[in-house]
Amino acid sequence: MTALSRERIGTLLARQGILIAFAIFIIAFTLANPKFLTVDNVFSVIRSSAILGVMALGVTFVVISGNLDLSVGSMMSFSTIVVLDLHDKIGPLLAIPAMFAMTLALGALIGLLVGYLKLNSLIVTLGMLSAIHGLTLTYSGGKNMDIADKEGTWFSVFGQGTALGVPVPILMFLALAALLGIVLAKTPFGRKVYAVGGNGTAATFAGIRRARTVFTCYLISAGCVATAGLIQASRSLGSQNTVGQGLELEVLAAVILGGASLMGGSGTVFKTVIGVLILGFIQNGLLLMGLQFYVQFVVTWIIIILAVWLDIAAKRGRLWSPIA
Amino acid sequence: MTLRTTLALSAAAAALTLGGAAAAETMKIGITQNNVGVDSYQTTYEKAFIAAAEANADVETVVLDAGGDVARQIAQMEDLIQQEVDAIIIWPTNGEAVIPAVRKAHTAGIPVIVTNSNIAEPGFDFVASFSGPDNITQGARSAEIMCDKFKDMGIENEAQIVQISGQPGYTTAIERAKGFEDRLPEVCPNVTLMETQPGDWNREKSQQVMEAFLVKYDDIDGVYSGDDNMGVGALNAAKAAGREGIIFVGATNFAVGYEAMAAGEYWGSIYQSPVDDAEAALKTAIDVLNGVDVPFLNYFDTPKITQDNMGDYTKPVF
């Protein structure tokens, strides 16, 4: 009986190491400041994390398929600026689909280069990081983009609205996570993504069209980025050209922290969500503790390393590697 | 942007090689900017600089942009030295890291004018003049604006405030914070500055920081932000949380800040025009080349702007 339950605890630890790490941080931060776990604060953290989170959902697909996407930060700036600009020109009802179409076109271009032309995704998306930034600046002329009538537009609902007492960005994040979670775990397409990332050659021999799968992953990523841009634009109703700058690395950190492998073939949407929440709660927790901000950079890194270590330790059942 | 800069650079280099000997009388002034396009201030600055240079027949310019990258800025400095321009204007991407490049220009006999944000003190010996806003005075003036408002409201003895500063390590951010923190206890000794956190010149980041402050502190009477962009982010957070009566004071009055002031939600700021900034930099460079005596710290004035006097100022274009 005891042996059995110990074994079960072991399996649970191995599967959900990152979840346990998450729980430990939450408890530690709550002890440091009781206000940490208030409904208002939790909502505000998840709402702030929603933008990063929505982007991470799409990148999860790309990473599992064995590729990288470093262009998501620039692309998010692009969609934010475009939707804000078009809002005043053609109205929100047309601006939103127009922005989605443009962002998806960028995703399709990357998918074409990486999927069909088989170019290295690191080079392609690193180049797109600058190229899309340039595109955004060319589009806006470098100006901040602001909606003229901030009070009178329904466009603010995506970033600032609430439904049933829950902020809309949180609902969008969770709904998209549920949808993409099902796509990845329960559909033939999802299994193809794992197969292509796990062993591309074997996938080809199994009759999977690799190029098409990779292409679709980048489309999903671009769709997520467009959604994130929509939330961002709606939340502040105005934006700088650099609003998404640097987010690509945070997104990647969240995805990898959640346990997806950079080599492809493993990871889940649920774990990415946990990765995103860990990053969001660390940032907020450190702010609430009032640590001096130069120190925060270092502490953030230490916590991430601790989380990764806990995850690995849980998987192998001991803290140190048996093979040194 | 990178492509455009490269094109501009090669075109400028070609033009200089061809026309170098013929136009010996004109002054060749090179400028390497921090990050045009990162915000409207820098975009407007560049346009104003080019316009001012074109209006002056004696001046020929090479306009470069480092895109926020220190390494690229150092390379651009070296390019300008190679091209043997008469003077170099630099908007430092980093107050420390550019010093060796500035020194190199100085050694080559090319006067260097620093614009907008000064380099760190060890580099002062190699600089002909600094042209720009006095950020310490700006911070001090923001403290005065906030203190005066608290006195009007009669809460100068119990008010509690928070500060959202600019990007850590950026001279402007450090100087404004210092000016504010030094001046506040002089004018309002009983106002408490509870905490300072950086908003990285970013509206979204600032909004997140303010959300955390609102959770942490039940009573916040005032918020000082290193610029209006961050100030408006903080204002958005307070509005979303339904917290009213907070006095917001910023610096570098942006269009959004101006509008929020007009709407009665944002109290005051510091009016700093990128056009004045750019024209002052060019004039300083020309004066240095003409042998005019220029003070080492050549500040242009940046006045206080509040809801009370905003009618005297036009809405900023950025």
Residue B210 is part of a domain; what is its CATH number? 3.40.50.2300
* Amino acid at position A9, single letter: I
| Per-chain mean pLDDT for chain A | 90
Q: What per-residue confidence (pLDDT) applies to A241? A: 85
In this structure, the answer to whether residues B31 and B139 fall within a common structural domain is no
3-state secondary structure of B43: helix
Interface test with B, best of A40, A293, A298 (most B CBs within 10 A): A293
Q: What per-residue confidence (pLDDT) applies to B4? A: 52
Rounded mean pLDDT, B72-97 = 93
In this structure, the answer to whether residues B166 and B242 fall within a common structural domain is yes
* Six-digit token string for A26: 């939450």
CA distance A283 to B43: 32
Residue B196 neighbours by CB distance under 10 Å:
19
Measured in angstroms, the CA of A13 and the nearest CA of chain B are apart by 32
Q: Compare all CA atoms of chain A with the CA of B41 and give the residue at the minimum distance.
A: A143
Q: Compare all CA atoms of chain B with the CA of A167 and give the residue at the minimum distance.
A: B240
- DSSP for B151-186 reads HHHT-TTT-EEEEEE-STT-HHHHHHHHHHHHHHHH
Rounded mean pLDDT, A57-64 = 97
Q: What per-residue confidence (pLDDT) applies to A240? A: 84
Helix or strand (DSSP H, E) at B279: helix B274-289
Confidence of residue A295 (pLDDT cuts 50, 70, 90): confident
Whether the pLDDT of residue B74 is over 70: the answer is: yes
Rounded mean pLDDT, B155-174 = 91
Predicted interface score ipTM higher than 0.85: no
Residue recorded with tokens 């942009």 = B65
- Asked if residue B56 lies in contact with residue B44, where contact means CB atoms within 8 angstroms, the answer is no
| Per-chain mean pLDDT for chain B | 89
Residues 193-232 of B with CB under 8 A from A: 195, 197-198, 202-204, 207-209, 211-213, 215-216, 229, 232
Rounded mean pLDDT, A139-167 = 87
In this structure, the answer to whether residues B173 and B69 fall within a common structural domain is no
Residue recorded with tokens 């503790």 = A289
Confidence of residue B24 (pLDDT cuts 50, 70, 90): very low
In this structure, the answer to whether residues B201 and B145 fall within a common structural domain is yes
Rounded mean pLDDT, A264-276 = 92
Give me the helices (H) in chain A, please: 2-15, 17-32, 39-64, 72-90, 92-111, 121-140, 157-160, 168-186, 188-198, 200-205, 210-236, 247-257, 269-289, 293-316
Closest CA relative to residue B224, chosen from B247, B191, B207: B247
Contacts of B168 in chain A (CB under 8 A): 293-294
Confidence of residue A293 (pLDDT cuts 50, 70, 90): confident
Confidence of residue A312 (pLDDT cuts 50, 70, 90): confident
Measured in angstroms, the CA of A219 and the nearest CA of chain B are apart by 26
Closest CA relative to residue B102, chosen from B128, B131, B72, B68: B128
In this structure, the answer to whether residues B160 and B220 fall within a common structural domain is yes
Q: What percent of chain B has pLDDT over 70?
A: 92
The answer, for A149 touching chain B at a CB cutoff of 8 Å, is no
In this structure, the answer to whether residues B78 and B158 fall within a common structural domain is no
Burial class (CB in 10 A: 0-12, 13-18, 19+), A175: exposed
Q: What per-residue confidence (pLDDT) applies to A13? A: 65
* Six-digit token string for B86: 């008469």
Secondary structure in 3-state letters for A52-95: HHHHHHHHHHHHHCCCCCCCHHHHHHHHHHHHHHHHHHHCHHHH
Is B125 part of a structural domain of the chain? yes
Buried b / exposed e along A29-63 (16+ C-beta atoms within 10 A): beeebebbeeeebbbbbbbbbbbbbbbbbbbbbbb
Rounded mean pLDDT, A293-309 = 83
Is B29 part of a structural domain of the chain? yes
The answer, for B167 touching chain A at a CB cutoff of 8 Å, is no
Q: For residue range B106-120, what is the model confidence (pLDDT) as tens digits? A: 999 999 999 998 888
Confidence of residue A239 (pLDDT cuts 50, 70, 90): confident
Beta-strand (E) ranges in chain B? 27-33, 59-65, 87-90, 112-115, 129-132, 160-165, 192-198, 222-225, 247-249, 268-270, 297-299, 304-306
| B268-270 and B304-306 beta bridge pairing | antiparallel
Interface test with B, best of A29, A47, A287 (most B CBs within 10 A): A287
Is B27 part of a structural domain of the chain? yes
In this structure, the answer to whether residues B262 and B161 fall within a common structural domain is yes
Whether the pLDDT of residue B163 is over 90: the answer is: yes
pTM of the model: 0.78
Closest CA relative to residue B230, chosen from B197, B254, B196, B206: B206
Question: CB–CB of B208 and A283 under 8 A?
Answer: yes
Whether the pLDDT of residue B67 is over 90: the answer is: no
- Residues in Cβ contact with B17 at an 8 Å cutoff, skipping those fewer than 6 apart: none
Is B308 part of a structural domain of the chain? no
Question: CB–CB of A238 and B168 under 8 A?
Answer: no
Question: CB–CB of B254 and A240 under 8 A?
Answer: no
Is B313 part of a structural domain of the chain? no
Task: Tell me the Cα Rg of chain A.
Answer: 20
Whether the pLDDT of residue B242 is over 80: the answer is: yes
In this structure, the answer to whether residues B7 and B109 fall within a common structural domain is yes
In this structure, the answer to whether residues B232 and B144 fall within a common structural domain is yes
In this structure, the answer to whether residues B229 and B289 fall within a common structural domain is no
- The whole domain housing B280 covers 2-133+274-300
Whether the pLDDT of residue A324 is over 70: the answer is: no
Rounded mean pLDDT, A293-315 = 81
* Six-digit token string for A123: 């080079």
Residue recorded with tokens 């190699």 = B126
Rounded mean pLDDT, B63-87 = 92
Is B318 part of a structural domain of the chain? no
Confidence of residue B17 (pLDDT cuts 50, 70, 90): very low
Whether the pLDDT of residue B16 is over 50: the answer is: no
Question: CB–CB of B204 and A238 under 8 A?
Answer: no
* Amino acid at position A274, single letter: I
In this structure, the answer to whether residues B261 and B142 fall within a common structural domain is yes
* Amino acid at position B11, single letter: A
Residue in A160, A240, A284 closest to B240 by CB: A160
Q: What per-residue confidence (pLDDT) applies to A104? A: 98
Is B317 part of a structural domain of the chain? no
CA distance A319 to A197: 29
Q: Is the dihedral of CA B77, B79, B84, B87 positive or negative?
A: negative
Confidence of residue A21 (pLDDT cuts 50, 70, 90): confident
- What's the domain count of chain B? 2
In this structure, the answer to whether residues B265 and B139 fall within a common structural domain is yes
Contacts of B255 in chain A (CB under 8 A): 144, 146
Residue B33 sits at φ, ψ, to 5 deg, of -95, 165
Which residue has better confidence, B180 or B19?
A: B180
Is B211 part of a structural domain of the chain? yes
Question: CB–CB of A130 and B2 under 8 A?
Answer: yes
CA distance B304 to B310: 9
Residues 58-117 of A with CB under 8 A from B: none
